[in-house]
Amino acid sequence: MKTVQKISLGSTCPNGFPKSALAIISFMKPDYIPAARTVLEIEAQTLHHAARQLDESINLAVSLILGIRGKLIVTGVGKSGLIGAKIAATFASTGTPSFFLHPTEALHGDLGMIGGDDAVLAISYSGESEELSSILPHIKRFDIPLIGLTRSKQSTLGRYSDVHIPVRIEREACPLGIAPTSSTTLTLAMGDALAVCLMEARDFKKEDFASFHPGGSLGRQLFVKVGDLMRRDNLPVIPETTPLKDAVVTMSEGRLGAVMLTDDAGALSGLLTDGDLRRALMSGDFSIDAPASGYATARPKTVSESGMLASDALVLMEENKIQLLVVTDERRHILGVLHLHDLVEKGIA
């Protein structure tokens, strides 16, 4: 046990919390790290033991799910229900159509949500949850395949199950041995294991995952194209013969930190950046009246608008240590620009 320093009125706590409202606060701070470590170790041991005990039930469950033409309905009560809802969400986002159905709601009309082409994954550690047990006869009456995640094959859920996946633990991580801790962790991990097995069986790729997550970072990386983000209007473009002093004005107005130079045919011939300007100022023959092309980067990196992913453009920027890519057509005519800030703002970077 460690005594924490007294905090006087008007001072701030060492961890940055707001000032105390009491004149003097004095309290004892116990060390909870050993208890937390014990929980993690018990649950880790539970997962390791279960991994060694896996049997043919996993293959049977995966084959059953692959064989259905409908959805996989996940059901459970209490903590098992909460775990089940997460498992259903994982299935749904990894190529196995799935949703969670609460047994109580099923008893009051929602049982009709289960179709003849569906299968049910029922979760109950004891296998004797009253609400869940009440719907099992109805599931079997319609000849719906049932997978049971439960401790014992001899439990009510175990007996009704076509496939029984054992979920057994030596002890809960709760010091009272009561609160579902190790059991819920193992159940969740079993659900993840099934989902990953199904992903492998279906050759589910990250492009498929992104299709279900178009608003997520992966979806943005795999679907957002250069053409979706590039700037097209009011671009800072000048002829390559423009004096440097005028190029600086155009650069400032463009707010991109650069100005693009074109030749007589209108093709991109150079890119003058603020970095180029700083380096030019260090040159002994620097002249503000000289053509901007004398200080610009000749034939800068460009990309095509056609189909290129914004994430690939980002890789090109990082490899070449640049912040701006010019988008051109096959004749190097300028179509737009892609700035690193655009990628950051849209969550690509």
Indicate the domain borders of the chain.
Answer: 53-204, 226-345
- Beta bridge partners of residue 28, listed in sequence order: 3
Q: Structure tokens of 215?
A: 């608003």
Tell the CATH superfamily of the 53-204 domain.
Glucose-6-phosphate isomerase like protein; domain 1 (3.40.50.10490)
Scored b (16 or more CB within 10 A) or e, 265-302 reads: eeebbbbbbeebbeebeeeeeeeeeebbbebbeeebeb
pLDDT score for 25 = 44
Q: Which CATH number fits domain 226-345: 3.10.580.10, 3.40.50.150, 3.90.1150.10, 3.30.950.10?
A: 3.10.580.10
Question: Is 129 in contact with 160 (CB distance < 8 Å)?
Answer: no
Judge whether 238 and 261 are in contact, CB under 8 Å.
Answer: yes
pLDDT on residue 265: 93
Task: For 223-242, write each residue's pLDDT tens digit.
Answer: 678 888 889 999 999 999 99
246-249's contacts with Cβ under 8 Å and 24+ in sequence apart are 246/292, 247/272, 247/292, 248/277, 248/288
- Length in residues, the chain: 349
Mean residue pLDDT across the chain: 87
pLDDT digits (tens, 9 = 90+) for 31-78: 899 999 999 999 999 999 999 999 999 999 999 999 999 999 999 999
Question: How far is residue 119's CA from residue 139's CA, in Å, rounded to a whole number?
Answer: 9
pLDDT in tens, 118-170: 999 999 999 999 999 999 999 999 999 999 999 999 999 999 999 999 999 99
pLDDT in tens, 261-286: 999 999 999 999 988 888 888 887 88
